[in-house]
Amino acid sequence: MKMKREIAARCLAAPGLRSALSTALPRAGVLVLNYHRVGDGTRSRYDRALWSATAEGFDDQVGFLKANCDVVGLDEIGDALRQRRGRHVAITFDDGYLDNHEIAFPVLRRHGVPATFFIATGFIDRRLLPWWDAIAMQVRETTRERLDLREWMPAPLVLEHGDREAAIGRVLAAYKSLPIDQATRFRERLAEQTGIEAPEVVEGHWMDWDMIRGMAAAGMTIGGHTVSHPVLSSLPVDVQREEIAGCAARLREELGIAMSHFAYPVGSRGSANADTRRLLREAGVRYAYSFYGGIATAASTRLDLQRTAIANGIDRNLFRAMVQLPQVFCRPAGA
């Protein structure tokens, strides 16, 4: 499927063809793109799958968006959704990584393009190493030849000759599909099997509040992404409330803003439930964003606006086809 999309995107790269098709096939709605990290992740100790683009690649993408689309900030999304046709695109970043400020922000400023940053406030406040980065580090750096996670993975994971990045992907996938009450046991078992304790706190990983204030002052939108990045639907209501109201409170205290925009951690179809949506409304959230692909349209509910991920190492032709013909190239997953 992925290959087919890339081949189709390459065929459309002939001069003028993609733009002509884009004009001939008008669309409604807003293509909300999602990024996590920008820069060179190839030697990172952490989860390398989180890098959405290199600095140069991101610069190229933003330049293309500026020249060929109407890039809107999320504070304009209500108006953009109501327009019957257009080529509206929004840029969003999740989590609050330091490279968002150091690398992405200067590129955005240079092009004069707005973006939104969804912040998990506990990461900024406490400099915590998130579980996905911890697991990637443990599996990458262990000297053990195999990992026995038999309760959760059918066979021992052989590391000695295999592709270490693929092994990291498999352990992360196993962790993501766990029932919440097994998460701690899984992490303990992984520490024992790898012989590596993940540190709780990490330096140089996250932005700080001064950086986020600076971006807000420069016209960037700041939204909420909970306190500690749990899958909200897996939690009891009172804990969900702490995650949502607690995030809103920190954004208000540090930035003096209301949490009008919110991105669901993980953002799959099942990551929020009716309680989540009620709590978001109570917290004053106007728009909430998912992460299973697709385009946000006037037909989307306000608390489930679809976003499309920009994947690590995405081909330039595919990126351009996605933003000019999203109705073809940005279908939601599992639809």
Amino acid letter, residue 294: G
The residues facing 222 across adjacent strands are: 117
**How many beta carbons lie within 10 A of that of residue 318, not counting itself?**
21
Q: In this structure, are strands 221-224 and 37-38 parallel, antiparallel, or unpaired?
A: unpaired
The residues facing 89 across adjacent strands are: 31, 71
Chain centre to alpha carbon of residue 73: 17
Name residues whose C-beta falls within 8 Å of residue 320's C-beta, 6 or more positions apart in sequence.
9, 13, 18, 64, 68
Q: Alpha-carbon distance 332 to 97, whole Å?
A: 26
Q: Which two tokens stand for residue 10?
A: 């390459």
Asked if 95 is part of the footprint of Zn ion (rule: CB under 5 A), the reply reads yes
CB 226, min distance to Zn ion, A: 8
Which residue's CB is nearer to Zn ion, number 120 or number 198?
Answer: 120
Stretch that binds Zn ion, among 86-94, 132-140, 273-281, 315-323 (CB under 5 A): 86-94
Stretch that binds Zn ion, among 89-97, 137-145, 304-312, 326-334 (CB under 5 A): 89-97
- Given the structure tokens 């293509």, which residue do they identify? 31
Which residue's CB is nearer to Zn ion, number 193 or number 306?
Answer: 306
Stretch that binds Zn ion, among 9-17, 21-29, 94-102, 123-131 (CB under 5 A): 94-102
Stretch that binds Zn ion, among 93-101, 127-135, 139-147, 310-318 (CB under 5 A): 93-101
Cα torsion at 113, 119, 58, 115 (round to 10°)?
-10
CB 158, min distance to Zn ion, A: 30
Which residue's CB is nearer to Zn ion, number 147 or number 251?
Answer: 251
Which residue's CB is nearer to Zn ion, number 6 or number 125?
Answer: 125
Q: Alpha-carbon distance 54 to 99, whole Å?
A: 11
Stretch that binds Zn ion, among 87-95, 137-145, 279-287, 305-313 (CB under 5 A): 87-95
Q: Alpha-carbon distance 161 to 172, whole Å?
A: 19
CB 225, min distance to Zn ion, A: 6
Q: Count the residues of the shown chain that bind Zn ion, applying the rule CB under 5 A.
A: 2
Cα angle, residue 66 at apex, residues 61 and 70 outer, rounded to 5° = 120
Which residue's CB is nearer to Zn ion, number 29 or number 224?
Answer: 224
Q: What are phi and psi of 297, to 5 degrees?
A: -130, 175
Q: Alpha-carbon distance 159 to 175, whole Å?
A: 18
Amino acid letter, residue 45: R
CB 36, min distance to Zn ion, A: 7
CB 222, min distance to Zn ion, A: 14
CB 305, min distance to Zn ion, A: 16
Closest chain position to Zn ion (CB) = 94
136-195 positions binding Zn ion, by CB under 5 A: none
Which residue's CB is nearer to Zn ion, number 47 or number 94?
Answer: 94
- Out of 57, 74, 80, 94, which residue is the one contacting Zn ion (CB under 5 A)? 94
Stretch that binds Zn ion, among 13-21, 92-100, 105-113, 216-224 (CB under 5 A): 92-100
Which residue's CB is nearer to Zn ion, number 68 or number 273?
Answer: 273
Q: Alpha-carbon distance 142 to 190, whole Å?
A: 10
Which residue's CB is nearer to Zn ion, number 95 or number 99?
Answer: 95
Q: Which two tokens stand for residue 217?
A: 């002052």
| Contacts to Zn ion by CB under 5 A | 94-95
